[in-house]
Structure 1
């Protein structure tokens, strides 16, 4: 009695099962995506600077035209006195006699702010730098174009707080106020850990700590 040969399907040994590769074995995990950076704030810097610079120039022109040779004008119940003072020094009448040095410092400040504004992404920093830029440009305009000559011009001051003739507080102008307010804002943001590029030093420390772990 003859026997028929078994078919290959019946004689072949079963192939061992192979586990499907896990995703973690075939590809590396993609690094977490970084948060999108806020948009640049260059326009905001120059917007604030242009507005405050215009206000400073306008008020100085009005003061020169209307208060030349006049006694102090009392307003707001004596809180403010308006009088024309030509100041060869810095803000609040400091550094008198160094007019040309102050003019060069103002030029350096303007250049530095313009350079920094390209990387600026923080609204707070944009406002602060815009105020400082406006103040620097306002007083620099006086030093360049007013008497007695270029880089020697005297700045027009006209706000005397609490008493006339600077007896209660040094006489100042809008540009001086802009520089002080902008400087205080920038210092406050720095103390709070807010960087000019829109990031926070606290967030950076957390990221570095997580990466090291």
Structure 2
């Protein structure tokens, strides 16, 4: 019986890991295609309204992280992204829950999307500027990879809160 459950768990783990990998690679591809189209068709700094004033395209090259912070330490962000990508790859082999797969896939796609820019974009490998293009009022300009990372973080936070609520409810029932 134990062997049968172990086999099922391994199959489930592989299936969930493949789902996460597939989602991550899809998000990476979407991110890179949007960036290629943006560099091809947009003029840097020239805002193009998409949905009135709510959403515009505005091509910039960001040497830093979120909100342009840390522009002098791009190499640090590159190394961190490489380590985070490796961490995601290890996690792919250990996840079993569907929500883990979605969060990990989005996180992997987002991290690698920006890492590709840091490796391939000027001025130099690991010092490259990230291509950003989405603009909403009173907020930083961002890209698809940033959206993926943010949604993944949101999923992880919500799941953590739900797990805490579930644990408290179990403690109340046990008391």
Q: TM-score, normalised by structure 2?
A: 0.85
- Report the aligned-residue RMSD: 2.5
How far is the alpha carbon of 1:90 from its aligned partner? Answer: 1.1
Once residues 92 and 62 of structure 1 are traced to their aligned partners in structure 2, the CA distance between those partners, rounded to angstroms, is 22
The answer on whether the counterparts of 1:86 and 1:155 sit within 8 Å (CA) in structure 2 is yes
Residue aligning to 2:60: 85
Once residues 69 and 185 of structure 1 are traced to their aligned partners in structure 2, the CA distance between those partners, rounded to angstroms, is 33
Residue aligning to 2:144: 174
Which residue of the other structure, out of 53, 76, 86, is the alignment partner of 1:111? 86
Alignment of 1:1-213 (within 5 A): 37=9, 39-40=12-13, 41-69=16-44, 71-162=46-137, 168-193=138-163, 202=167
Once residues 102 and 135 of structure 1 are traced to their aligned partners in structure 2, the CA distance between those partners, rounded to angstroms, is 13
Once residues 53 and 27 of structure 2 are traced to their aligned partners in structure 1, the CA distance between those partners, rounded to angstroms, is 25
SS at match of 2:86: helix
Structure 1 runs of 4+ with >4 Å offset? 34-38
SS at match of 2:57: strand
Q: Which runs of 5+ in 2 are unaligned?
A: none
User: Greater Rg, structure 1 or structure 2?
Assistant: 1
SS at match of 2:64: coil
How far is the alpha carbon of 1:93 from its aligned partner? Answer: 2.1
How far is the alpha carbon of 1:70 from its aligned partner? Answer: 6.2
SS at match of 1:39: helix
Aligned residue pair count: 163
Q: Which runs of 5+ in 1 are unaligned?
A: 1-33, 163-167, 195-200
Could you say which structure has the higher helix fraction? 2
How far is the alpha carbon of 1:69 from its aligned partner? Answer: 4.1
How far is the alpha carbon of 1:92 from its aligned partner? Answer: 3.4
Q: Which has the higher contact order (CA 8 A, sep 6+)?
A: 2
Residues 184 and 70 of structure 1, relative CA distance in 2, 3 Å threshold? closer
Q: TM-score, normalised by structure 1?
A: 0.70
